[in-house]
Amino acid sequence: MSLAIFDLDNTLIGDDSDYLWGQFLVDQGVVDKAHYERANEKFYDDYKQGTLDIVEFLGFSLRPLAENLPEQLYLWREQFVRDIITPLLLKPAQQLIDKHRAQGDTLLVITATNRFVTEPIVQLYGITNLLATTPEFVDGRYTGGFVDIPCFQDGKVKLLEAWLKNSTESLQGSWFYSDSHNDLPLLKLVDRPVAVDPDEKLALFAKNANWPVISLRNEVCPTHHFHK
């Protein structure tokens, strides 16, 4: 029994939930289309290039949470998950999760996308353990800020280490599945890193490091790496 860790965006789902949530808010008329769309695109490009200023991005992405009542936000989120996210769930991802579950492994998702957006998505895969950037919630409202540290790059490692101290789990025999070179700090830390539909930088690193590279975009879950 080991710890099986999964990234979310472009790993377990076929797109980026953070970016799509922003576009959903544009489509709903919640935010200014021209300004928000342009900024959302720029931040997403920065993320893919590995140059994202995570604190600046969180100031941008969490602002709509502060500007709207939680009750309305929850209704939008429900619609977003139903209409936008559900079609992006990947059957091979569920099969991979189920294999780890059948082995008795502990399942954990670690994502830079904030908990407000990702918690219901992760639950669709039957996973209850989630480490994500946590929006601040005070006196019944989101503030637009965040608590602790962003769950991004080295922050994923720090939050995982803190989580491990309060659990019975360890990194012995651990897996981490990710598509992004932004996750290299954590990929290097686990015993069994797996590149999933990797971006160009991660694909090159995985090849040089002789890491398994798999795709979850097909109809059948790959199995060749699983029992290594």
Active site positions, annotated: 7, 9
In the chain, DSSP finds a helix count (H) and a strand count (E) of 10, 8
Answer whether 97's CB lies under 8 Å from 125's CB: yes
Rg (CA), the chain: 17
31-37's contacts with Cβ under 8 Å and 24+ in sequence apart are 31/64
Distances (CA, A) of 169 to 132, 157, 174, 194: 18, 15, 10, 20
* Token pair 């429900």 in the structure block, residue: 78
Buried-state track 88-101, b at ≥16 Cβ within 10 A, e below 16 = bebebbbebbeebe
Phi, psi of 12 (to 5 degrees): -85, -20
